[in-house]
Every structure is written in C-alpha cells, then in structure tokens.
Structure 1
Amino acid sequence: MINPLQGIAEAQTLAQAIVNTIHEPLLVLDGELRVMAASRAFYETFKVDEAHTRGALLYDLGDGQWDIPALRLLLETIIPERAAMDDFEVSHDFPGVGQRTMLLNARKVVYETSPDHTILLAFTDITARRGLEQELAALLTRTEALLEQKQILLQEMEHRVANSLQIIASILMLKARGVTSPETRDHLRDAHQRVMSVAAVQSHLHAVEGIGEVGVGPYLTKLCEGLGRSMIAEDRPIALAVTADDGRMSSGQAVSVGLIVTELVINAVKYAFPAGRDGALVRVVYESRGENWKLTVADNGIGKTPGLATASVGEVTGGLGTVIVQALVKQLDARLEVVSDDGGMTVTVERASF
C-alpha cells in the first residue's frame, strides 16, 4: 500500500514534479492571480526565469507582457462564473518571443477545507497552425481567382470556336450554292454537315457550362434535328427518330460519335430512298451500360447503298464518308457491323459487349 504524503512540503514537491512533466506552458495561480508554480515549458517558451516569476502577480510578469485585455476577461470575468474555459484564443506580441497566438485552457480548483481557490492556466501555441491556415486561405483565394480567370478564358474561347465554326459552315454553304458541279456541291454540303456536328457538341458543352462529359441523348437529339432541317426536303418526307438512354461520355468521344452519326444519316438520307417512299424512316439508337455502349443507325430503305454497305469491318474502303466512319470507330476502340438487305440497312458501332 502506498503511504499518504507526509506534510505540505511533500505535496508541493509532487505537484511541481507533475507540472514540470507537462510539455506545454502551464501556470498555477492563487486566488489573487499570483504565480504559485510554473512548468519548465513556460520558462523556456516565454524566456523568463523562475526568480522573477514565482510569487509575482501574473499581470506584472515580464514588464507587464501578460497584462492582456483578453486574458483579464478570461480570469476576472469568465472563470469566476464558469469555473472552466477551453480554447480561449489570445494573440499577443510577447517581448523576446514575438507575435504568438495561444489557446488558453483554464480551470478553477476549489478546496473543501479552505475558502481559497487555485487557477490552472495552460497554453497551447497555435501560431504555426494559424499561419498555415492563413496561407491556405490565401492560396484558396488565389486559386479561386485563377479558376474564375480560366472560366472567363474558356467562355471566350467557346464563343470564338462557335463563331469560327459558324463562319466555316456558312462559307461551305455559300460555295455549295455557287458551284455548278452536282458532285462538288454534294461534297461541300457533306462537309457543312460535318462542321455542324462538331458545332453541336461545342454548343451542347456551352449549354451545360463546359463540363467534361456530355449527355448523349440530348446531344444526338439536337444533332439529328439540325441534320433533318438541313437535309430533308419537304418533297421527300423522311422521318428521323432518336432513341437514347441517359448515358454520358467525354466530349472527345461525343465529337467522334456525332461525326459517325452525321456520316451515317447523310448516307441514309441521300441513298436509301432514291424514288421516295411512304413511311421512310431513319432511326438512331444509343444504348449504354457502364463504359460499354452501342450505337445503331438503321433505315428501311432499299438496303444496298454505296460505301458502308460493301465495306468490311476494319477495312478502309469506299468514299470519304466510309473512311471517316471507319477511322472514328477505330479511334473509339469500337467494332463496326453493317447489315444490308431489301428491308434496309443497319449499321452498328459497338464498344465492348453487353
């Protein structure tokens, strides 16, 4: 059994030993706020010596460096009412130490056998932490400013790209109207549609605030609406229908898919219904599952149309449209399949498998 301490001297020795083992600055104050004891960390941190600290009034320490209004508020107002206070922040320029930000923890100790009381006052130096927080806040402010500048530049670039694409498309259409060769006119109009398909992606990205992914359904719907308005004449009614799930893909992939759809729709509208037909229909279907997807463009025309109808998978044959489609399919790491018969032609571009 451990014997109780004999006398006040032993108790004081133990108390001082306990105080000295604490790594953070600690003061023990009496009811009049005079220093009864201080930890070794206190002396080392604030560059004071024991002879001028013990027995001195707290506010007189170090030529009055502890006569801080915030500390007076803590010790003379808050502690008498609450008996304890945690994380009371004080910033002060201490002589010989410099500007420091401290968290003060205070406890009022009341004794059963005496009307006197003691106050334990512990200090945690958070100067470095606050400095880091200020640096992070400043960095965040600068980052937000840079992001705002980047957004402004992106918006300006989007406007410039959109204007450039419109100018190119307009020039192609003007050239198409001015040439006398039907073949050259068709090539210019096809080029116009290809430019417009890229413009549709750019416009869609701008509408959704330039995010890196595109909703495929809305994009293909908008693209095909534009193709229908520019290619399908009133005297050749051809329905152009789009069915797509809620899949998404990167803007780069969307450009490639949009160009593929443009080529296939151009091919179907130009060649699938040479004599006109009631119920003429071109269907664009997009299905996705995770990173895998399948695009189908089908028509109910005559079936044997130029280009893709005679092209083998992975083989670069046919006209420019065929070369473009096969190159884009390869770029997307997808597989091309063409089925053509008297009931029409179906072109499938599939990435991976369902």
Structure 2
Amino acid sequence: MPTTIPAIEDAQTLAQAIVDTIHEPLIVLDGGLRVLAASRAFYEIFRVDSERTMGCLLYDLGDGQWNIPALRLLLETIIPEKTAMDGFEVDHDFPGVGRRTMLLNARKVIYETSADSTILLAFTDITARRAVERNLADLLEHTEELLRQKQVLLQEMQHRVANSLQIIASILLIKARAVTSEETRLHLKDAHQRVLSVAEVQAHLHASGDLDQIEVGPYLSKLCASLAASMIGDSYPIALDVEADHGWIGSDKAVSMGLIVTELVINAIKYAFPTTRADARIRVGFDSTDAGWLLTVSDNGVGGVETAAPLVHGGLGTAIVEALVKQLDARMQVQSAEGMAVSIRHPAA
C-alpha cells in the first residue's frame, strides 16, 4: 500500500524542506495571495527576511516591490483561468537588487478534501541571459552595418576601377591611331583589348551588384560583342558567337577567363582567315558540370601549323594565356586540323 505522511505537521515540514532545497526562488501563496512558505533562495536573492514575509500579502512585500502590473495579471487573471503558466517574463527594478528580468512559473494547486487552494510561484533570473542576447543582437546589427558599408565601398571602388580602365583603353586606342609604325599600332590595339576585357568584368559586376560571383554566359557575350565591334570590320566580316550555359564563376577567375578569351579571339581574327570568307566564324563556348568547367575558343579557319604557330611557338599573347591557365589551375589543349580549337578544362575542386 502507498506510504502516507502520518501528521499534518510532518507534511508541512517535508514541504518546507522541499521548498528550501530548490535553488531558484520559490514562494507558496494561499488563495488570498498571502505567503505560506518561501524558499531560502527567495530570501537570499530578494534580500527579505522571513518575519516580514510569512503571512504577508505578496503585493506588500518589501515595501510594495512585488506590486507589479505584470505579476497581478498573472496571478489574478491568467492563473484563475488556466491554473498553470510557464515562462511568464517580468522585467522590474527591485529595490536593493536592481533591474532584473524574471521568468515566472506558476501552478494553482486544488485539493480534493478542501475548498482552499494554493499557488506555487517559482522565479528564474534570466537577467544575464537577456543581457547576452541584447549584446549579441547589437553585435549582429553592428556587423551587418559594417558589411553593408563594406559592400558600398567595394562597389564604389569597383565603379572607379571600371571608369579608370575605360580611360586607359581609350588612351591606348588614341595612341594606336596616332603612331606611324604598324607593329606598334597592333601592339597598342592588343593592349587596348586586354584592358577592355578586364573592364568588362568590372562593368558586369557593377551591373549585377555581385562582387563574388559572375554569370559566365552574359559576361562572355558582352566581352565578345566588344571585341567584335572594335576588331571586326564590315568589309571583312567574321561571325563571333558565344554559346554558354548558366554556369557561374568567381569574379577573380572571371578576369583571367576574360583575358584568355580576348587573347584567343584576337589570335583567331589575325591568323585564322588570311582571305575573306563568307562563312568565317569564331565560337566561344562554356560548359559547366559537377565535374568542372570547359572553356573553348574555336574557329573554322585555315587551321594547320601556321594558324597555331602563335600559340605553339610563343609570344606575348601565348605567355599571357599560359600564365592565366596556370593561375586558374586548368589545363589547355590545342587542336589545329580543320580550323583551330583551344580547350581549357578546369576540374571541380
């Protein structure tokens, strides 16, 4: 059979012992909200003594420090209806203790053998936790503001760099038109196109608002359109097509890729079509998969050793392409039979 406590006094002693072993503040109230019992933690934390606590109305404790509107709402409205409430937050300035944020847990105890009831009211001090949360929220807000400022500064810097590159490209083009040496003119035009390829990345990033990633298809299309406009004349037409999937690449790698495409397209325009052809065509392709990406620049020109010579035997353009391919951790393959095709493959990390 269940063991019972033999006397009321013993039950009260046990109840008080249980209350005192709880580390969090706890008080027991009667139906009229007068204190029947309080834990040792309650006395220590709120700095009150038992003589001025036991039998007193809760709202009168500590010169009225517990006469809190939120606490009244809990005890006089919520508890009578629900009989229980967990995590009821109260923020209050307690005399002698200071500002505290408390979570209140309340239980209304109804007895089978009596019409009386009691309320158990437990307190959890979450002042430190809330302070940490506020500090973290402030830190997060400050960090987000710094990131926003950084983004604005980067965009401004990128915009200024793009403008500077356009100015440099214009100066190179003006110089190319002014010099008398044909060799010098060609070198200046090549330099002009190299600067434009870098400027195209900057312009594309500024338009997309993304400083980290760039969509390859639109970028290569704009770059090749710029190359075609400046290097392919109406009297000697060469179709320059771009076929690219929806792959993305880091903006730093996009600069290298743009320079590679610029060099290879310039090479094809110079050497692939020594005579006028109605079907002359250069194709720039980009394909990306889970295995990596593949960049190709091909033409349907004369092919053969002479077309590939600038890439095979060296030169400034060749050195630039080889250095950029190495920088991208990619591999280049050159095929020159029917036309010429340069493939640059980058495996997935």
TM-score (norm 1): 0.93
Contact 1:307–1:321 (CA under 8 A) maintained in structure 2: no
**Cα RMSD, aligned residues only:** 1.8
Q: Name the CA distance, whole Å, in 1 between partners of 2:310 and 2:263.
A: 15
Q: Describe the superposition over 1:64-123 as per-residue Cα deviations: whole angstroms up to 9, x where unpaired.
A: 211222212221222223322222211111122111010111111122222211111111
2:341 to 331, 337, 346: 346
Aligned to 1:137: 137
CA deviation vs aligned residue, 1:314-344 (integer Å, no higher than 9, x gap): xxx4221111111111111222221223x21
Q: Secondary structure at the match of 2:194?
A: helix
User: How far apart are 1:305 and its partner, in Å?
Assistant: 6.8
Q: In structure 2, what is the Cα distance between the partners aligned to 1:110 and 1:290?
A: 66
Aligned to 1:335: 331
Q: Which residue of 2 aligns with 1:112?
A: 112
Aligned pair 1:298/2:298, yes or no? yes
Match of 2:43 in 1: 43
1:326 match? 322
Q: What is the distance in 2 between the residues matched to 1:236 and 1:311?
A: 23
- Aligned counterparts, 1:138-287, within 5 A: 138-287=138-287
State whether residues 242 and 283 of structure 1, in contact with CA within 8 Å, keep that contact through their aligned partners in structure 2: yes
Aligned twin of 2:309:
309
**In 1, Cα distance between equivalents of 2:63 and 2:347:** 79
Structure 2 partner of 1:11: 11
Match of 1:205, SS state, is: helix
SS in 1 for 2:108: strand
Give the Cα separation in 2 of the matches to 1:250 and 1:350: 16
Deviation at 1:350, TM superposition (A): 1.7
Cα distance in 1, alignment partners of residues 342 and 85 from structure 2 = 75
Deviating more after overlay: 291-300 vs 120-129:
291-300
8 Å CA contact 2:165, 2:196 repeated in 1: yes
Gaps of 5+ in 1: none
Contact 1:89 1:101 in 2 (8 A): yes
- CA–CA distance in 1 between the matches of 2:76 and 2:300? 92
Equivalence for 1:27: 27
Inter-CA distance 308–336: structure 2 relative to 1 (3 Å threshold): farther
Taking the aligned partners of 1:98 and 1:181, their CA distance within structure 2 comes to 86
**Shift, 1:210, TM fit:** 2.4
Q: In 1, are the aligned partners of 2:267 and 2:310 still within 8 Å (CA)?
A: no
Q: Identity percentage over the alignment?
A: 67
2:130 alignment partner AA: R
Please give the TM-score of this superposition, normalised by the length of structure 2. 0.94
Verify the 8 A CA contact 2:88 2:104 in the aligned structure 1: yes
The equivalent residue for 1:92 is 92
2: CA distance, partners of 1:185 / 1:305: 26
Q: Check the 8 A contact 1:309/1:345 in 2, yes or no.
A: no
- Bigger mean CA offset, 330-339 vs 256-265: 330-339
